[in-house]
């Protein structure tokens, strides 16, 4: 079985709030010096899901694809170290400034170029913009069935059994192949790579494809192809204040607290 | 001022001289008495002697027995040696030979470690010295007869009779003490791994000594008592017994046949007992001094570097043959005394680790699979396929390896000089790097180290947060004398910020020439190394050594004993040689030189907790205590376990990032110990210890009122120098 994992490199979600800055003129996040971008955590889970299937199903292969700049090599290497076999980086200036749609378009083109893919596994959303669109976008582009927010994915003779997280429980769906699945954090912790694999991954070369390699028209990707227009980017104001609730008895204090919460329309 | 410090702890500071004196004192009277005997005996009959094999017809048996014993010993140790040989080469053995020889004498023959338990020290010396002297006595008898030298005559014979009896008596005292400890006092630790051999050895020795006296007494009853009572007197114990026997007025043939029986009994017992050396822990009489010679000569705080890690096939120790042969040898030296387990913080808290059982389990595993591995190696088969059990995971459980704090308490106590910590960390390395079997919280810390250069997942502070409100903070540029290394805990963990700020203010007040790295600080790598990710450690340490060199760092003051230890003891493995001071060392010196003037009273009862990596691993016990002595009005009560016996706070060895499994948490145990002193606050020197106490104290003392508080030494000194209202603290430059 040939599985593709889509992985995105994002600004570190653990950047300390005091260091996180936005350039309101350029409408962009200012990279924090000394804080390197990381692999989106949901995508690490996507890799974990793919590797679990690979371990069970003989003769499987996992390819990781990332759309990003040269630095995204690190994210690809991380998935390779976890046990993926090959890595592809979609790197082209033309890809810059795109939205979920253009990203899905480019990734789908790359998957088509790979040819023999049985399933694509993505994280439920990238942990920077939290859109959660790319997975189903790829399914749409490829015309494959898609299932989102999976907590478990199992191979079952020529199909995938996908357990999906719902608001009030789970549902298990049987996906004919080829298919696209996005996984959620309920899947469990991604594995810690073995050193042997880290060193093998370091030696592997990552294939780089440009828009031209994928036969994509530069106008259909990146900023040019983008259907989403960013109006304004702003940082929420964070602040705090303390109000001491007075009262002679615990009951009186509780009453005063309840009143204060009601006045603030919290309860 | 420093007050209630027990003499026990005092003697801890200079263990070498005082212990040596204690043990030396023992030989003094014995030899003195003997010499006195020698002098007085010169005046005695010059013809005094005896017939060596008096009354015994087949003395040849002695030689048959001796020859078989020697054969047995050679065979037994030869078999052991083939097992040790499956191990890897042991590095650095040829370095520091003179230090090694000194260790062999001081720790092996003079048994300095046993002195940490006084009762055991006296007991063991009684037994040890009597075995040595009586073996010597027996050898003289044999030589006297075999080589027809006949030197056992005249005054020397009388002197010989005297010290033979003396050390027989000494041996009996030792055996008596051992019996008392095992059966009456019931000391817990010696029953944890009790086996048949423990009973055999001690009862056997007692019987040998008793039959020895019986043989001697019977002989004296029959001959010397009648013919030369003035000679007989020298064998003072047997002389007394002989007098007692004489009261019964046995017939001579009765006495003679009893003598023959006793003689044979004594011989068989003695030879049998010596044969036990091969099969039981009695082998420690040879292995302990050898292991003392093999003991590392560098700091116990240093873990070995895996050289050329990228070219390895196995990282760390996954199978028994991956250990060095010294590590395998060590397993056979263990006497199951339980000292290590008795002081192990994990064990004390009821967690799944007992260093004694760990060593014993490995020893058993070596005996189980060693021969087959040796055979497979010989035949050129795959040695890794031999063991039916996974050593890491099945013989030694994962949770056992994770429970270790690398606190070194076990190593400190072990009388046969076993080094548990490297052995445990070697297996952890395998667990992490080969198997990638890492508990989730530790994995998060390691991934954080890889991605963010610090182990604190979810940290919301930055490396410069602590600088707020301190005025201008000098950035190190190579022109200052010291680099003040704040560390990840000192800058990213809320609780430790005040400590960092205190140290900073005090350094500035003391007029030190220093700077910090601020945003450019990374992790020293210590957590990665203790957690077993040597590869990550080597990357982090290598980078930092380069940074230090590029910035021309010569001297470093650290906040954290873990950074301190790795800079000082481990960075030289990467070519980084810097002078490293812990802040308590620098501040103690500043106080002595009068650069800092504590003037505000700290009228408080305090107790002091030694962190493992400042104390046991690096021997810095005094500097922090000296600072406390300078705090006006502070009174110190030491905890029962302190200085080299101090108990770990629970966070060492990467346990800051591990979930504890077991009955209790180590920090709760230690918090209780601190509270038992009745002090109002507990003082430490390590950001981890402080966090552990902050956590542990409320857990064991839920009431907020009168709850013990936790401080770093620097925080109290800061209060004493600048006052509580911070009057003198404000920034001097702005
Ligand atoms: S180093 Fe400390 S925690 Fe580890 S086994 Fe030894 S005594 Fe126990
Ligand atoms: S390892 Fe050392 S301290 Fe522990 S039981 Fe064995 S001999 Fe005793």
CATH of the domain at B315: 1.10.1060
Query: From the alpha carbon of B339, which atom of ligand 2 is closest?
Result: 3
Residue that finishes a domain, picked among B252, B280, B308? B280
Is the CB of A12 less than 8 angstroms away from the CB of B446?
no
Mean pLDDT, residues B43-50 taken together: 59
Query: From the alpha carbon of B403, which atom of ligand 1 is closest?
Result: 3
User: What's the domain range around B508?
Assistant: 446-732
Q: Which of B432, B458, B465 sits opposite A14 (nearest CB)?
A: B458
**B201 and B157 share a domain?**
yes
**B551 and B657 share a domain?**
yes
Q: Is the pLDDT of residue B46 over 80?
A: no
Is the CB of B519 less than 8 angstroms away from the CB of A33?
yes
For residue B439, the CA-to-ligand 2 centroid distance in Å is 28
**Residues facing residue A156 across a β-bridge:** A159
**B23 and B164 share a domain?**
yes
Q: What integer pLDDT is reported at residue B25 of this predicted model?
A: 46
Task: Tell me which residue has its CA closest to atom 7 in ligand 2.
Answer: B334
B359 lines ligand 2 (CB under 6 A): yes
Nearest-CA distance from B581 to chain A in Å? Answer: 27
Which of A10, A77, A192 is most worth mutating to test chain B (most B CB atoms within 10 A of its CB)? A192
Q: What integer pLDDT is reported at residue B149 of this predicted model?
A: 74
**B234 and B374 share a domain?**
no
Q: Which of B561, B495, B562, B560 is nearest to B709 (CA)?
A: B495
B436: chain A residues, CB-CB within 8 Å: 191-195
Q: What integer pLDDT is reported at residue B51 of this predicted model?
A: 66
**B185 and B108 share a domain?**
yes
Q: Which of B435, B451, B520 sits opposite A38 (nearest CB)?
A: B451
Q: What integer pLDDT is reported at residue B19 of this predicted model?
A: 45
A32 interfacial to chain B (CB closer than 8 Å): no
Q: What integer pLDDT is reported at residue B39 of this predicted model?
A: 54
Residue that finishes a domain, picked among B416, B437, B458? B437
For residue B652, the CA-to-ligand 1 centroid distance in Å is 9
Summarize pLDDT for A143-199 with one digit per residue, the tens: 999 999 999 999 988 899 999 999 999 999 999 999 999 999 999 999 999 999 999
Q: Which H or E element spans position B137?
A: helix B118-146
Structure tokens at B521: 């600080």
Q: Which of B351, B405, B653 to mutate to test the pocket of ligand 1 (most atoms within 8 A of CB)?
A: B405
Is the CB of B452 less than 8 angstroms away from the CB of A35?
yes
Q: Which of B616, B636, B608 is nearest to B710 (CA)?
A: B608
Summarize pLDDT for B161-207 with one digit per residue, the tens: 899 999 999 999 999 999 999 999 989 999 999 999 999 999 999 99
Q: What integer pLDDT is reported at residue A5 of this predicted model?
A: 98
**B462 and B361 share a domain?**
no
pLDDT band at B27 (very low <50, low <70, confident <90, very high): low
Q: What integer pLDDT is reported at residue B30 of this predicted model?
A: 54
Is the CB of A17 less than 8 angstroms away from the CB of B460?
yes
Residue B629 lies in a domain: yes
Residue B79 lies in a domain: no
Is the CB of A16 less than 8 angstroms away from the CB of B440?
no
A33 interfacial to chain B (CB closer than 8 Å): yes
B681 close to B710: Cβ distance less than 8 angstroms: yes
Q: What integer pLDDT is reported at residue B34 of this predicted model?
A: 53
pLDDT band at B36 (very low <50, low <70, confident <90, very high): low
10 Å Cβ neighbour count for B559? 28
B623 lines ligand 1 (CB under 6 A): no
Q: Is the dihedral of CA B265, B271, B272, B273 positive or negative?
A: positive
Residue B88 lies in a domain: no
Mean pLDDT, residues B604-628 taken together: 96
Residue B72 lies in a domain: no
Q: Is the pLDDT of residue B48 over 80?
A: no
Is the CB of B452 less than 8 angstroms away from the CB of A12?
yes
Is the CB of B452 less than 8 angstroms away from the CB of A14?
yes
**B428 and B453 share a domain?**
no
Identify the nearest ligand to the CA of B335 by its number: 2
Q: Is the pLDDT of residue B726 over 70?
A: no
Return phi, psi of residue B69, to 5°.
-65, -45
Please give the residue that has the higher pLDDT: either B144 or B644.
B644
Summarize pLDDT for B411-461 with one digit per residue, the tens: 999 999 999 999 999 999 999 999 999 999 999 999 999 999 999 988 889
**B107 and B242 share a domain?**
yes
Summarize pLDDT for B556-586 with one digit per residue, the tens: 999 999 999 999 999 999 999 999 999 999 9
Q: What is the mean pLDDT of chain B?
A: 90
Task: Tell me which residue has its CA closest to atom 1 in ligand 1.
Answer: B406
Summarize pLDDT for B582-614 with one digit per residue, the tens: 999 999 999 999 999 999 998 889 999 999 999
Q: What integer pLDDT is reported at residue B662 of this predicted model?
A: 93
**B451 and B488 share a domain?**
yes
Identify the nearest ligand to the CA of B416 by its number: 2
Q: What integer pLDDT is reported at residue B560 of this predicted model?
A: 96
B contact residues 268-327, partner A, Cβ 8 Å cutoff: 310, 315
**B680 and B611 share a domain?**
yes
Q: Which of B343, B345, B428 to mutate to test the pocket of ligand 1 (most atoms within 8 A of CB)?
A: B345
Q: Which of A17, A189, A194 sits opposite B433 (nearest CB)?
A: A194
Q: What percent of chain B has pLDDT over 70?
A: 91
B432: chain A residues, CB-CB within 8 Å: 192
- A158 dihedral zone (left: phi>0; alpha: psi -120 to 50; beta): left
B451: chain A residues, CB-CB within 8 Å: 12, 36, 38
Residues in chain A: 267
Q: Which H or E element spans position A30?
A: strand A28-30
Q: Which of B107, B187, B328, B334 to mutate to test the pocket of ligand 2 (most atoms within 8 A of CB)?
A: B334
A54 close to A266: Cβ distance less than 8 angstroms: no
Interacting residues of B683 by C-beta distance below 8 A, sequence separation 6+: B606, B607, B608, B609, B624, B628, B710, B711, B712, B713, B716
Number of domains in chain B: 3
Mean pLDDT, residues A28-50 taken together: 92
Q: What is the distance between the alpha carbons of residues B462 and A55, in angstroms, rounded to a whole number?
A: 41
Is the CB of B432 less than 8 angstroms away from the CB of A33?
no
Nearest-CA distance from B275 to chain A in Å? Answer: 48
Q: Which of B107, A167, A265, B264 is nearest to B115 (CA)?
A: B107
pLDDT band at B17 (very low <50, low <70, confident <90, very high): very low
Mean pLDDT, residues A137-141 taken together: 97
B174 close to B127: Cβ distance less than 8 angstroms: yes
Mean pLDDT, residues A224-253 taken together: 88
Q: Which of B310, B440, B460 sits opposite A189 (nearest CB)?
A: B440
∠ CA(B322), CA(B328), CA(B334), 5° rounding? 145
Nearest-CA distance from A35 to chain B in Å? Answer: 7
Mean pLDDT, residues B690-708 taken together: 94
Q: Which of B87, B78, B77, B106 is nearest to B326 (CA)?
A: B87
Which of A104-113, A228-237, B295-304, B444-453 shows the lowest mean pLDDT across its residues? A228-237
Q: What integer pLDDT is reported at residue B180 of this predicted model?
A: 96
Q: Is the pLDDT of residue B361 over 70?
A: yes
For residue B418, the CA-to-ligand 2 centroid distance in Å is 7
Q: What integer pLDDT is reported at residue B3 of this predicted model?
A: 36
Q: Is the pLDDT of residue B6 over 80?
A: no
Residue B499 lies in a domain: yes
B438: chain A residues, CB-CB within 8 Å: 192
Identify the nearest ligand to the CA of B281 by its number: 2
Q: Is the pLDDT of residue B711 over 60?
A: yes
**B242 and B378 share a domain?**
no
A256 interfacial to chain B (CB closer than 8 Å): no
B9-32: b (≥16 Cβ within 10 Å) or e = beebeeeeeebeebbeebeeeeee
Is the CB of B462 less than 8 angstroms away from the CB of A19?
yes
pLDDT band at B152 (very low <50, low <70, confident <90, very high): confident
A199: chain B residues, CB-CB within 8 Å: 310
A192 interfacial to chain B (CB closer than 8 Å): yes
Residue that finishes a domain, picked among B229, B249, B280? B280
B460 interfacial to chain A (CB closer than 8 Å): yes
Task: Tell me which residue has its CA closest to atom 5 in ligand 2.
Answer: B336
Return phi, psi of residue B4, to 5°.
-65, 70
For residue B417, the CA-to-ligand 2 centroid distance in Å is 8
Residue B14 lies in a domain: no
**B497 and B642 share a domain?**
yes
B7 interfacial to chain A (CB closer than 8 Å): no
């Amino acid at each position: 079985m040939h599985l593709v994992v889509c992985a995105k490199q994002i600004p570190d979600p653990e950047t300390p709030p005091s260091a996180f800055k936005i350039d309101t003129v350029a409408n962009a996040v200012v990279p924090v010096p000394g804080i390197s971008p990381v692999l989106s955590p949901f995508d690490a889970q996507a890799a974990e899901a793919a590797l679990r299937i690979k371990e069970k199903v003989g003769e499987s292969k996992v390819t990781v694809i990332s759309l990003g700049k040269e630095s995204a090599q690190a994210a690809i290497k991380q998935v390779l170290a976890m046990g993926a076999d090959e890595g592809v980086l979609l790197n082209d200036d033309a890809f810059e400034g795109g939205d979920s749609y253009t990203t899905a378009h480019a990734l789908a083109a790359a998957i088509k170029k790979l040819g023999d893919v049985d399933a694509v596994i993505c994280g439920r959303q990238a942990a920077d913009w939290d859109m959660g669109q790319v997975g189903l976008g790829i399914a749409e582009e490829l015309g494959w069935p898609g299932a989102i927010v999976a907590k478990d994915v199992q191979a079952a003779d020529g199909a995938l059994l996908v357990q999906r997280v719902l608001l009030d429980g789970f549902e298990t769906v049987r996906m004919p192949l080829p298919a696209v699945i996005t996984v959620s954090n309920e899947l469990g912790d991604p594995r810690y790579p073995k050193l042997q694999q880290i060193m093998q991954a370091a030696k592997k070369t990552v294939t780089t494809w440009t828009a031209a390699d994928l036969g994509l028209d530069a106008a259909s990707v990146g900023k040019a192809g983008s259907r989403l227009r960013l109006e304004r980017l702003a940082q929420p104001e964070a602040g705090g204040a303390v109000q001491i609730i007075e009262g002679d008895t615990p009951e009186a204090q509780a009453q005063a607290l309840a009143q204060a919460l009601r006045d603030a329309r919290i309860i | 001022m420093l007050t209630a410090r027990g003499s026990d702890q005092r003697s801890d500071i200079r263990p070498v001289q005082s212990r040596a004196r204690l043990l030396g004192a023992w030989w003094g009277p014995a030899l003195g008495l003997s010499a006195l005997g020698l002098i007085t005996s010169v005046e005695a009959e010059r013809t005094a002697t005896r017939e060596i094999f008096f009354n015994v017809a087949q003395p040849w048996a002695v030689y048959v027995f001796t020859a078989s014993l020697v054969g047995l010993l050679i065979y037994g140790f030869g078999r052991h040696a083939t097992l040790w040989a499956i191990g890897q080469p042991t590095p650095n053995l040829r370095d520091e030979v003179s230090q090694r020889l000194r260790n062999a004498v001081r720790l092996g023959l003079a048994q300095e470690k046993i002195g940490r338990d006084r009762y055991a020290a006296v007991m063991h010396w009684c037994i040890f010295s009597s075995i040595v002297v009586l073996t010597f006595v027996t050898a003289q008898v044999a030589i006297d007869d075999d080589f027809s030298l006949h030197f056992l005559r005249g005054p020397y014979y009388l002197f010989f009779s005297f010290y033979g009896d003396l050390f027989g008596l000494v041996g009996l005292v030792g055996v008596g003490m051992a019996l008392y400890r095992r059966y009456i006092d019931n000391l817990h630790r010696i029953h944890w791994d009790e086996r048949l051999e423990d009973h055999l050895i001690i009862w056997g020795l007692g019987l040998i000594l008793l039959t020895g006296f019986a043989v001697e007494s019977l002989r004296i009853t029959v001959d010397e008592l009648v013919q030369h009572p003035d000679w007989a007197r020298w064998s003072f114990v047997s002389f007394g017994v002989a007098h007692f026997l004489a009261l019964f007025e046995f017939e001579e043939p009765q006495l003679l046949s009893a003598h023959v029986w006793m003689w044979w009994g004594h011989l068989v017992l003695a030879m049998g007992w010596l044969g036990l050396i091969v099969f039981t822990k009695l082998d420690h009489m040879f292995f302990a001094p050898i292991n003392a010679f093999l003991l590392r000569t560098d700091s116990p705080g240093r873990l070995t570097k895996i050289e050329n890690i990228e070219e390895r096939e196995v990282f760390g120790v996954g199978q028994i043959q991956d250990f060095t042969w010294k590590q395998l040898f060590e397993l056979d030296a263990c006497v199951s005394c339980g000292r290590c387990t008795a002081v192990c913080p994990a064990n004390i808290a009821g967690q799944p680790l007992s260093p004694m059982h760990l060593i014993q389990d490995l020893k058993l595993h070596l005996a189980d699979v060693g021969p087959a591995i040796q055979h497979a190696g010989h035949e050129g088969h795959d040695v890794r396929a031999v063991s039916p059990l996974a050593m890491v995971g099945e013989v030694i459980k994962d949770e056992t390896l994770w429970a270790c704090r690398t606190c070194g308490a076990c190593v400190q106590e072990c009388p046969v000089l076993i080094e548990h910590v490297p052995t445990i960390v070697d297996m952890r390395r395998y667990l992490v790097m080969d198997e990638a079997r890492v508990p989730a919280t530790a994995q998060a810390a390691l991934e954080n180290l890889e991605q963010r250069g610090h182990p604190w997942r979810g940290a919301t502070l930055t490396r410069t947060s602590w600088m707020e409100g301190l005025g201008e903070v000098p950035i190190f540029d190579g022109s200052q004398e010291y680099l003040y290394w704040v560390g990840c805990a000192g800058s990213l963990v809320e609780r430790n910020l005040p400590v960092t700020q205190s140290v900073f203010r005090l350094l500035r007040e003391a007029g030190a020439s220093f700077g910090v790295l601020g945003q450019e600080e990374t992790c020293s790598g210590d957590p990665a190394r203790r957690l077993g990710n040597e590869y990550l450690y080597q990357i982090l340490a290598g980078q930092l050594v380069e940074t230090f060199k590029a910035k021309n760092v010569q001297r470093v003051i650290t906040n954290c004993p873990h950074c301190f230890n790795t800079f000082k003891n481990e960075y030289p493995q990467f070519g980084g040689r810097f002078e490293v001071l812990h802040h308590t060392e620098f501040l103690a010196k500043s106080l002595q030189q009068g650069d800092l003037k504590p003037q505000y009273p700290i009228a408080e009862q305090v107790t002091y907790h030694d962190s493992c990596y400042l104390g046991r691993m690096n021997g810095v016990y005094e500097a922090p205590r000296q600072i406390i002595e300078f705090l006006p009005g502070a009174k110190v009560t030491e905890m029962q376990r302190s200085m080299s016996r101090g108990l770990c706070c629970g966070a060492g060895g990467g346990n800051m990032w591990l979930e504890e499994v077991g009955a209790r948490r180590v920090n709760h145990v230690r918090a209780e110990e601190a509270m038992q002193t009745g002090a109002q606050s507990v003082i430490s020197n390590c950001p981890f210890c402080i966090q552990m106490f902050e956590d542990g104290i409320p857990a064991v003392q839920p009431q907020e009122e009168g709850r013990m508080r936790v401080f770093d030494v620097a925080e109290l000194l800061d209060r004493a120098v600048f006052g509580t209202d911070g009057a003198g603290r404000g920034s001097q430059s702005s």
